[in-house]
Amino acid sequence: MERREFIKNSAIAAAGFSILPTGSLFASAQAKVRLGYIGVGARGMSHIAEGLLRDDVEVVAICDTQEHSLKICREYIAKKGHAPVKEYTGGLDAYKMLLDHKDIDAVIIATPWQFHHSQAIDAMKAGKYVGCEVIAGLTVEDHWDIVHTSEKTGMPYMTLENVCYRRDVMAALNMVRQDLFGEIIHLEGGYQHNLRSVLFNDGKGSYGNTGVEYGPNALSEAQWRTQFNIDVDGDIYPTHGVGPCMHYANINAGNRFTNLVSFSSKARGLGTYIEELSPGHPNAKINYKNGDVTTTMINCSNGETVMLSHDTHLPRPYSLGFRVQGTKGLWMDVNKSVYIDHKSKEDDAWEPAQQWFDKYDHPLWKKYEKLAQGAGHGGMDWFVFNAFIESVKQKKQTPIDVYDSVTMSVITPLSTQSLKKGNASIEFPDFTKGKWKDRKNTFALDDSGF
């Protein structure tokens, strides 16, 4: 069955009550979600593609400061047989005109990181649901601003962390909830991905290009993301690794992060890469502050430890480095293996993780596998987009709420503080103000919020 037909014939109706304080029933769900997109570069375009596939989404308006991105988006929308949408451009404040539209229910923010904080706050004040790409803000104060604005306006904010919906990650969550690993003791995750050809290109092509330019001489993320690696020493992309770990450890739902410490290696990877491609190029001599490998250790209130790794400047195969370890066994994604005490066939011998994940495949993946086929990042992009859309339709809280969103994002400024203070232990903010003690982990328990 085609994805469009499947979506049209599936209401994905949820049973039960919303987790919003109002406790409203889903019966009042609206038929269509009217979306505005702030930022339609590469990541924004992937969300555009998901929106255009659905009969319950209307793409109302798009905004970007670059005609190049708007042109690609405009042509893509036409190619898919949709009428032109309203466009806003001309300056950094152009998105505010998009927010003035009363017929927009929610916005997807996929702009460079430094703009997320102000754009999200303005969107919530305008009465819009916010689905924002990582990260939420650049400072700890930015993250508190997001929380206070969401609480004051009543508008949900969701970090669109797709790895929380990765199939093996959700199968492992299913195993955690069925006590296969026993009591959770230690967790690991990270962003271990060779991004050198993302951070540099020749201004003519991006992603896989062998150019060595960044900033105004480059395209796509190399225009802005590279500068963070020059200016900031810290874990500048923590959410891929920590998002799933938060669900395994029930963070903000009976548990919380209490403090962290970060360590950073020397920075040689980016300069070596540029020198190899273009000997003598001035970009090889830049003092890149961001260490090639940043390691962050986090303590939890219930006694678990979490280790995160940011490793994007060196040649390496992709891996997020997940490890879920408890009193009965563990999963490690680097070697794609599981061992469960007294259940694995051999004592102290790894077994292929896939055979366990086939058995404990998450119910949502088994149910909506066909819908996710063809979506980005192995299908998990469909799940995270759908989770946001269903929340807006049902007028309910998002499954990754504002507290979860800022908790996974604030690790960036906290790790930076730790490094600046000589690997000092930094207290972790309690964004829930104590509510974590009574909150329950409802992520992906049923269809109600995915």
What number is the average pLDDT over the span 218-231?
A: 97
What number is the average pLDDT over the span 194-209?
A: 93
Token reading at 352: 């292929």
Per-residue pLDDT tens over the stretch 352-392 = 999 999 999 999 999 999 999 888 888 999 999 999 999 99
Closest to 131 in 3D by CA, of 42, 44, 65: 44
Mean pLDDT for all residues in the chain: 93
Task: Check whether the bond before 135 is cis (ω within 30° of 0).
Answer: yes
pLDDT at position 167 over 60: yes
pLDDT at position 343 over 80: yes
pLDDT at position 27 over 50: no
What number is the average pLDDT over the span 344-352?
A: 97
Q: Is the pTM of this model over 0.85?
A: yes
* pLDDT value of position 447: 85
* pLDDT value of position 28: 55
* pLDDT value of position 14: 28
Long-range interactions of 227-231: CB distance < 8 A, separation 24+: 228/113, 228/290, 229/199, 229/270, 229/288, 229/289, 229/290, 229/313, 230/286, 230/287, 230/288, 230/289, 230/290, 231/289
pLDDT at position 21 over 70: no
Report helix angle 380-393 to 42-52, nearest 10: 60
Predicted confidence band at 115 (pLDDT cuts at 50, 70, 90)?
very high
Predicted confidence band at 448 (pLDDT cuts at 50, 70, 90)?
confident
Query: Alpha-carbon distance 157 to 146, whole Å?
Result: 8
Lowest mean pLDDT among 8-12, 40-44, 258-262, 383-387: 8-12
* pLDDT value of position 25: 31
* pLDDT value of position 59: 97
For the residues of 157-170, what is the DSSP string, one character each? EEE--GGGG-HHHH
